Structure 1
Amino acid sequence: MKKCNFLKDQDSSMSKIELKQSLEKIEKVINDACGFFEQMNLPNKSNANLSKPASSRGAVTTARPPPLVIGRDKDCDNIVAMLHDKEEDAQPDTNKAQCYSVIGIHGIGGSGKSTLSQLVCAREEKDGHFNLVMWVHVSQDFSVDTIFRQMSEAASRTPCPQFNNLDTLQTNLQKKLHGKRFLLVLDDVWYNNRDVRQYEKLQQILSPLNAGEAGSKILVTSRTKDALIALGAAEQRCIPMSLLDEDVFLKLFKHYAFHNVCVAADDRIRLEDIATHIAKKLKGSPLAAKLVGGQLRMRPNIDYWRSSRDGNHLDDTMGALWWSYQHLDEQVRRCFAYCSIFPRRRLLEQHELVKLWAAEGFARSSNEGKDLEDVCQGYFDELVSASFLQPEVKKYSSKKDTYIVHDLLLDLADRVAGSDCFRIENQWKQIGDGLIMEGCEEEVPPDVRHLFVQTYGSELINEKICKLDNLRTLIIDGVDVRIQVEEKTVKSLFVRLKKLRVLIIPVYNDQGTFSVPESIGQLRHLRYLRHLPFETRFFWC
């Protein structure tokens, strides 16, 4: 990753000397950019066996449980007992009976399903009952090939080889599972029983799993029981997420509200009493406990806690999230809303987010000499402290300082961002031996300011994106290696999107080189320019 030089906004009226200086700065930016891309000389990979960048994310990881989990030991014990229950083991026979059985956990968002499944995984890895333990996050908009890659990498603890079709991916996965008794966790499965295509995709995920040994298990988490049954869980194996006992939940809430808080003994007693009443309003939601507790922890003031207790804004989970969001500083709220351009469960890198926020002009400081990125780093730290960004613990990746936005918080970010932020998440499907991208049917808001596009397409650029006059951010995540990025398409971006501050774009072509059009000089507001070479991968969880 490389960042272009920062440009300073110019007044509309300039002297000849100022104009000359501005033109010299623009010329320098063009020369720097051209030199930058000349250094990118990528080797010709036309003969390489490459996959589409949209789903090649490097080593997708199994997440460990949080450092502290309160009140889930009994639930974990019950699930582990089911996983080891030999009476439920299916025995393969000439009729190709399944070698695995399915157990499911269902419950509302934020109730702790993922944490519980991670806790089970951690215990099973120590126990040794299963030869392989795999944890894969599925989410609402998934592609089968991405799930196969994640399974393969979780099984081998190494990056999945680059295959370009589902049949090869499936065969590769079957080899890794052959003769192994495995535990596979499919976390956060979404399902609509009226969506036939979604059902077919879920069945396709299961297709290579019969290569395993008898006694294998699949543990599924979902918001609905229908998803568990669609994947083959028997009714008695669909476990509702239990509510924490009132005392246990209060202990969890107090952990977040009082961690490292130093107050006088008398004040502590009063705050503890108020915390007891606030905890009852949160209806047992661990996510709400974490967020609300975090906000209270930063403001250990009796009057503030009382006003929080007496309002009705904490009576449901989304209300609690909204209340927590409202108590962030204004600029921190802008930075959080900006995260809504990224897809669900995207692993976000700390240093990149900080640079993007600075480039967008989100930094506000009374200290004129303070570096903009330092100001934005403070915003980042506040979002982490308030649990709006949660650190992702990884086992098989060298990536550091990556964070994730919980699904419910991303829903909130979508709501507060409105039409300012938009993401186009293209889907892939199997055609013959290859994979192709399906088109985007969504209407992009004409006044959108920040746009994420999962996969490049010249028609999408020319017909939709180039008409977005207010666009400040354009992030194009990847390009199908069979599609050449045309220079005239990039030139159109530079000529028509004159308000761009951030541009991240793939620059692949047959020769492995790319020339920056001189029209880049028209982007007088540009603060951040980045290319996406083949070697650059975004991580997903």
Structure 2
Amino acid sequence: MYISRIRRNIFSFIDFLAWYFVLQDCGMSKIELKQSLEKIEKVINDACGFFEQMNLPNKSNVNLSKPANSRGAVTTARPPPLVIGRDKDCDNIVAMLHDKEEDAQPDTNRAHSPASASERCIRPQIIGIHGIGGSGKSTLSQLVCAREEKDGHFNLVMWVHVSQDFSVDTIFRQMSEAASRTPCPQFNNLDTLQTNLEKKLHGKRFLLVLDDVWYNNRDVRQYEKLQQILSPLNAGEAGSKILVTSRTKDALIALGAAEQRCIPMSVLGEDVFLKLFKHYAFHNVCVPADDRIRLEDIATHIAKKLKGSPLAAKIVGGQLRMRPNIDYWRSSRDGNHLDDTMGALWWSYQYLDEQVRRCFAYCSIFPRRRYLERHELVKLWAAEGFARSSDEGKDPEDVCQGYFDVLVSASFLQPEVGKYSSKMDAYIVHDLLLDLADKVAGSDCFRIENQWKRSGDNWTMEGCEDEVPLDVRHVFVQTYGSELITEKICKLDNLRTLIIDSAEWRKPVEEKVLKNLFARLRKLRVLIIASDQGMLSVPESIGQLRHLRYLAFMTRYGSDSRLVLPGTLTKLYHMQVLDFGNISDLVFDSCEDMFSLINLRHIIQVPFREIRSIGRLTLLRTLETFEVRKEQGCELKQLSDLNQLCGKLRIMGLQNVESQQEALEANLADKEGLRTLELWWNYDETAELKEKEVQTEVLEGLCPPKLLESLTMYSYDGLRYPSWMMGKHNGGPKYLNTLSLHCCSTELGPELGGFCSHLRSLYIFSCSWDTLPDHMEHLTSLKDLGLNRCRNIRSLPRLPQSLECFKLSRSNEMLMSSCRTVGDPIWEKLQHILVAYVDGK
């Protein structure tokens, strides 16, 4: 009880401090200052009184040092994933998948129903893998998928995570996206979604992996849902198979797997497991040779305590790797905390830095196996204030990036396989680690995994019966419901984070609910609402959220979405992140006052083209689009001091820049964090020589930073390409790997080979060139070459031997015909290329 009260008082103290600085920004009066200081003094006195009652020791009497100090080189580099000792298991499963006997089984669930009495539906055969948490079931299933992708036995390979609490429509969407490798369209009901999925599976022999299926034989509803997700799978071709992983054999049998096709996870041999453990414990560890021998011996004993758990090997090995100290390893060996997997995870957690532990506990608000993106988590942690205050002079996001790297190195965050995730830099928290995060987060974090259920013509919400702790600070809501927000969420006076993951079209977010939310939750620092509705209007009362640092309104389907923002948004002086996803129409009449948000660091997705004097926002890191206009506050020089920009920058309206000096004022070369740059001119086929000369000079002045990786130009019509692009002086990017030219009339010269020695991809779209540059064979790193709508190019030069993929479409008919004609000289130039597409063939 005392700990909870102290914790609440400490957080109140932090909130009062934050409010004090808000009032300072607003120019508070002496009376307001006195009242705020009195409140702060009361909080401090209350906290001190609690410490005295508990008779806590003085800091001077407490040993706050780490349990062991490393004498070797500490590394936070993540070892590459290693899968060993599973070849036999994989061979066994693949053999079952390819087995033609009893390839399919009757769908008994439908065969006995009146509607299907005349025909027996055939369901793909089910094969199961079962084993305890952390034994490597998901890894084995992904190993099987990788082999099947390579062998080509199945037309389609899909991998879907199910978990304990799942909704049928979510699983159907994941199946649909895995089947088509594209986002699933929005459908009004589950029947339409199922029909769409059946169409994608029709006539295809597929392999579907359902990972991490849970089953409780007393939960009838769960059984019905499991049967429901199997129902559209009858649409596939004969020979389709379903591979299921679960902690229990009962779940596999309940789904319909024959007992002889339920495969238990085999225990790794002692030598194999030791090799796996050492892979994670010694990767990139540099210690003296004598110490290495002693550490190897200690590692052998530690490995035996882990009882063959691959997850424990990864977690414990990662922690030891970061502290290659003999005394530390010896104390770890001699303790009894590594005798079971959960104990090993808890032991490893205790040795994380305090702030890193806080970041890990924060992950508990997200559902199981949710894909977490690095850049999103880092921005959330920074907005929550998790960066250690003692790191003076360091950017909070850079500090949080370091925390993220530690969690990845220690395997508390695990990179997800790219082929089965639509996100490029995605990570997951293993189920057992999420259980640990739940425990250490306590009442700080809470997630509501709810969903709408249809009963006749009515919709009811299920999954939100649990009471939400009143002192909770971070809440994740899977599905929006007005009653849920009004009756439960709005009572949480100390809430700092509210993430509403989905507001469905049938239950839109009402403006009156937002008004109530903004009036009650004054301490919010993070507010994220993802909605499927076409129109969302944000009330002016959002201006009351003076502590807000991270605001996101997003939609899954952006083509017809509209967001109306009030002018009071510009009063949220602590705002760091504005993220509007892929919303297509943003209405915001106060764009010209955006410069008052002096702490703003990220403007994501929607281009705020109306922002004036954006150069005042010197902390900006993300500005995806900047449009140059001939208006005050919209000049190119507004970019001059935005040297913290990183990632991608698109500059439009360059036809409004009139000289090289104006271009130089953008100071692009000093924006060292930029990796992708797009330069846009408006196409003008009547451009005169003087205008072409101006474009030439402007591009010369837009010299990008040295570490730029991708450069794209639209409608450039200058007389030549700049010296920094042709390698004629020391400026410009040194490691450019992608160059894309759209509607550019200026032909590339032979100097390209000298400038682009690292170029891997070259794409040319709708350019009026007659030829490709000579000496292209000097582009010795080039892997991909694409030509689209290039009507005047009739031949190809000698292409580099490094080229692996060539795509030619909608271009000169003579050239495309020559590429298809066996024996033609141009056809001969393509024979060393692994993949060559000519008009999609």
- In structure 2, the CA distance between the partners of 1:434 and 1:87, relative to structure 1 (3 Å rule), is farther
- In structure 2, the CA distance between the partners of 1:433 and 1:168, relative to structure 1 (3 Å rule), is farther
- In structure 2, the CA distance between the partners of 1:422 and 1:87, relative to structure 1 (3 Å rule), is same
Q: CA offset at residue 348 of structure 1? A: 1.2
Query: 3-state DSSP class of the match of 1:14?
Result: coil
Cα shift readout 1:411-431 (whole Å, capped 9, x = no counterpart): 000000011100111123344
Q: CA offset at residue 122 of structure 1? A: 0.8
- In structure 2, the CA distance between the partners of 1:233 and 1:62, relative to structure 1 (3 Å rule), is farther
- In structure 2, the CA distance between the partners of 1:123 and 1:523, relative to structure 1 (3 Å rule), is same
Matched with 2:542 is 520
Contact 1:166–1:430 under 8 Å retained in 2: no
Q: Separation in 2 of the partners of 1:45 and 1:162?
A: 57
- In structure 2, the CA distance between the partners of 1:539 and 1:352, relative to structure 1 (3 Å rule), is farther
- In structure 2, the CA distance between the partners of 1:356 and 1:20, relative to structure 1 (3 Å rule), is farther
Matched with 1:417 is 441
Contact 1:189–1:220 under 8 Å retained in 2: yes
Cα shift readout 1:146-192 (whole Å, capped 9, x = no counterpart): 22222222222222232222222222222222222221111110000
- In structure 2, the CA distance between the partners of 1:109 and 1:91, relative to structure 1 (3 Å rule), is closer
Contact 1:51–1:163 under 8 Å retained in 2: no
- In structure 2, the CA distance between the partners of 1:161 and 1:88, relative to structure 1 (3 Å rule), is same
Cα shift readout 1:461-487 (whole Å, capped 9, x = no counterpart): 221111112111111122122334333
Contact 1:429–1:437 under 8 Å retained in 2: yes
Moved more, 350-359 or 433-442: 433-442
Q: Aligned to 1:78, which of 84, 89, 92? A: 92
Moved more, 111-120 or 439-448: 439-448
Q: Separation in 1 of the partners of 2:505 and 2:45?
A: 28
Q: CA offset at residue 136 of structure 1? A: 1.2
Contact 2:486–2:516 under 8 Å retained in 1: yes
- In structure 2, the CA distance between the partners of 1:65 and 1:268, relative to structure 1 (3 Å rule), is closer
- In structure 2, the CA distance between the partners of 1:330 and 1:23, relative to structure 1 (3 Å rule), is closer
Cα shift readout 1:492-535 (whole Å, capped 9, x = no counterpart): 22222222222223xxx999555544433433322222999xxx
Q: CA offset at residue 307 of structure 1? A: 0.2
Q: CA offset at residue 28 of structure 1? A: 30
- In structure 2, the CA distance between the partners of 1:375 and 1:22, relative to structure 1 (3 Å rule), is farther
Q: Separation in 1 of the partners of 2:55 and 2:535?
A: 5
Moved more, 449-458 or 398-407: 398-407
Contact 2:72–2:324 under 8 Å retained in 1: no
- In structure 2, the CA distance between the partners of 1:414 and 1:167, relative to structure 1 (3 Å rule), is same
Q: Which has the higher strand share?
A: 2
Q: Separation in 2 of the partners of 1:447 and 1:39?
A: 22
Q: Separation in 2 of the partners of 1:405 and 1:442?
A: 23
Q: CA offset at residue 319 of structure 1? A: 0.3
Unpaired runs of 5+ residues, structure 1, are 1-9, 533-537
Q: Separation in 1 of the partners of 2:449 and 2:108?
A: 42
Moved more, 208-217 or 233-242: 208-217
Q: CA offset at residue 395 of structure 1? A: 2.4
Contact 2:491–2:520 under 8 Å retained in 1: yes
TM-score under structure 2 normalisation?
0.54
Cα shift readout 1:106-140 (whole Å, capped 9, x = no counterpart): 00000000000110111111112222222111111
Query: 3-state DSSP class of the match of 1:218?
Result: strand
Query: 3-state DSSP class of the match of 2:336?
Result: coil
Contact 2:71–2:325 under 8 Å retained in 1: no
Q: Separation in 1 of the partners of 2:495 and 2:545?
A: 12
Moved more, 25-34 or 61-70: 25-34
- In structure 2, the CA distance between the partners of 1:513 and 1:182, relative to structure 1 (3 Å rule), is closer
Query: 3-state DSSP class of the match of 1:46?
Result: helix
- In structure 2, the CA distance between the partners of 1:286 and 1:213, relative to structure 1 (3 Å rule), is same
Cα shift readout 1:307-346 (whole Å, capped 9, x = no counterpart): 0000000000000000010010001000100110111111
Matched with 2:222 is 198
Matched with 1:14 is 28
Matched with 1:510 is 532
Q: CA offset at residue 374 of structure 1? A: 1.5
Cα shift readout 1:48-92 (whole Å, capped 9, x = no counterpart): 999999999999999999842111111101111111122232378
Moved more, 333-342 or 165-174: 165-174
- In structure 2, the CA distance between the partners of 1:24 and 1:517, relative to structure 1 (3 Å rule), is farther
Contact 2:372–2:427 under 8 Å retained in 1: yes
Contact 1:105–1:238 under 8 Å retained in 2: yes
Contact 2:79–2:283 under 8 Å retained in 1: no
Q: Separation in 2 of the partners of 1:37 and 1:389?
A: 35
Contact 1:63–1:394 under 8 Å retained in 2: no
- Equivalent pairs, count: 522
Identity %: 90
Q: Separation in 1 of the partners of 2:434 and 2:277?
A: 22
Q: Separation in 2 of the partners of 1:539 and 1:410?
A: 48
Q: Aligned to 1:334, which of 338, 358, 373? A: 358
Q: Separation in 2 of the partners of 1:264 and 1:481?
A: 63
Cα shift readout 1:374-403 (whole Å, capped 9, x = no counterpart): 111111111111111111232276632221
Q: CA offset at residue 214 of structure 1? A: 2.2
Q: CA offset at residue 241 of structure 1? A: 0.5
- In structure 2, the CA distance between the partners of 1:201 and 1:52, relative to structure 1 (3 Å rule), is farther
Q: Separation in 1 of the partners of 2:73 and 2:185?
A: 11
- In structure 2, the CA distance between the partners of 1:238 and 1:51, relative to structure 1 (3 Å rule), is farther
Q: Separation in 2 of the partners of 1:514 and 1:539?
A: 42
Q: Separation in 1 of the partners of 2:265 and 2:257?
A: 15
Q: Separation in 2 of the partners of 1:313 and 1:46?
A: 28
- In structure 2, the CA distance between the partners of 1:211 and 1:66, relative to structure 1 (3 Å rule), is farther
User: Does residue 257 of structure 2 align to residue 233 of structure 1?
Assistant: yes
Cα shift readout 1:7-40 (whole Å, capped 9, x = no counterpart): xxx6999654997999999999999999999999
TM-score under structure 1 normalisation?
0.82
Contact 2:502–2:532 under 8 Å retained in 1: no
Query: 3-state DSSP class of the match of 2:420?
Result: coil
Moved more, 469-478 or 71-80: 469-478
- In structure 2, the CA distance between the partners of 1:300 and 1:41, relative to structure 1 (3 Å rule), is closer
Q: Separation in 1 of the partners of 2:463 and 2:41?
A: 38
User: Does residue 413 of structure 2 align to residue 399 of structure 1?
Assistant: no
Q: Separation in 1 of the partners of 2:508 and 2:58?
A: 13
Contact 2:159–2:210 under 8 Å retained in 1: yes
Contact 1:105–1:113 under 8 Å retained in 2: yes
User: Does residue 108 of structure 2 align to residue 94 of structure 1?
Assistant: yes
Query: 3-state DSSP class of the match of 2:195?
Result: helix
Moved more, 39-48 or 351-360: 39-48
